[in-house]
A and B are shown apart, each in its own frame.
Chain A
Amino acid sequence: MSIDRVNQLSSTCVRRRFALAPALLVLGVTLLCGTRAMASSGGEVVTTAAEPGSLLEVVLFYAVATMTIVSSVAVCMSKNIVRMALWLFMTLASVSFLYFLLAANFLASIQLVVYAGGTLVLLVFGVMLTNKSPWARYTPGKLELVGAAAVCSVLLVALWLVFLRAEWSRLPGAFAGTSVADLGRSLLSVYVVPFEVAGVLLMIVMVGAAHLARQDK
């Protein structure tokens, strides 16, 4: 391996360490906020991490929303697949923080455990097993890039216009906060059939994935 190559590798590693710092920051703040919300509720019905309508909620929302948008734009802009996975981790952690702000604490922890902890690790394993080198590049054509950017921006502007005009009407009944007991009761009464189907689906997927990734046929 030439000296140039070694230098290139080490500088990439240093840059990646800098990219990791904000990700760890997001994770830490999310966990802190989650434990605070859980502790203040004493395990009972949870409202939100911040008081609804307070200045804290507004500030937290804008900070986390900026983080979500920046990291999801970075996912589609980065060329390196490992860096894409890292930015995806930041997006998932920020979305989990948004769930905390939406008073969905159980869902936020599930998002962290299953998505950021499980699915993302699976994706990174996929990257490791299918690349000759993590620096391998697959470059799309110029026309393709322009077309995709045009379609996405038109869609974004259209959605924005719809959101500005829409008059959402509330269903009767007030939001009373989320409790894990209510979620579980609903999951095993109203949604018991989808729940069972999801269980069967997971088993089928487990067998299917093991069969697909088998070494010798």
Chain B
Amino acid sequence: MTIGVTHFLVVGAVMFCCGLYTMSTKRNAIGILIGVELVLNSSALNLVAFDRYMGAGRLDGQIMALFIIVLAAAEAALAVGICINVYRNLATVDVDKATQLRG
């Protein structure tokens, strides 16, 4: 019994579904952000697993995962800034309460 790419893909799929569930059920904006982090991590895990077992030794998957980490850090910084601003204006980060821009 050896560990192959499928094992890592299954772990990634479970993480992705948990992230999706978190994103769709949490009302707290920071909670939704945590769900996004889970989804990003699962995709990075898939890329690295494919790079390890299927790649041509060029490390493409690992570099993609590095870019994902960079983008996640940037996204988290901006989203936390937006959350702080929403909290300052509405005194809550409940995403259902922020309806001022609704047409």
Chain A interface (Cβ < 8 Å from any Cβ of B): 52-53, 57-58, 61, 65, 68-69, 72-73, 75-76, 81, 84-85, 88, 91-92, 95, 98-99, 101-104, 106-107, 110-111, 114-115, 118-119, 122-123, 125-127, 129-131, 138-140, 144-145, 147-149, 151-153, 155-156, 159-160, 163-164, 166, 168-176, 178, 182-183, 186-187, 190-191, 194, 198, 201-202, 205-206, 208-210, 212-213
Contacts and interface: CB of A to CB of B under 8 A. Distances in A.
Interface in B71-102: 71-74, 76-87, 93-94
Contacts, number: 225
Interface in B13-35: 13-22, 24-31, 33-35
24 contacts: A58-B2, A65-B7, A68-B14, A84-B22, A98-B45, A102-B51, A115-B37, A115-B72, A119-B73, A125-B80, A139-B27, A140-B27, A148-B24, A148-B25, A149-B21, A152-B21, A153-B17, A155-B20, A163-B6, A175-B53, A186-B58, A186-B63, A190-B58, A212-B81
A101 B41 CA distance: 16
Interface of B: 1-3, 5-11, 13-22, 24-31, 33-35, 37-38, 41, 44-45, 48-49, 51-60, 62-63, 65-67, 69-74, 76-87, 93-94
Contacts of A99: 45, 48
Nearest to A84: B34
Given A76-B22, A107-B65, A198-B67, A123 B33 contact: yes
B7 A61 contact: yes
A156 B73 contact: no
A77 to B, nearest CB: 9
Interface residues of B, dominant DSSP? helix
Most chain B beta-carbon contacts within 10 A, residue among A98, A101, A151, A182: A98
A155 B17 contact: yes
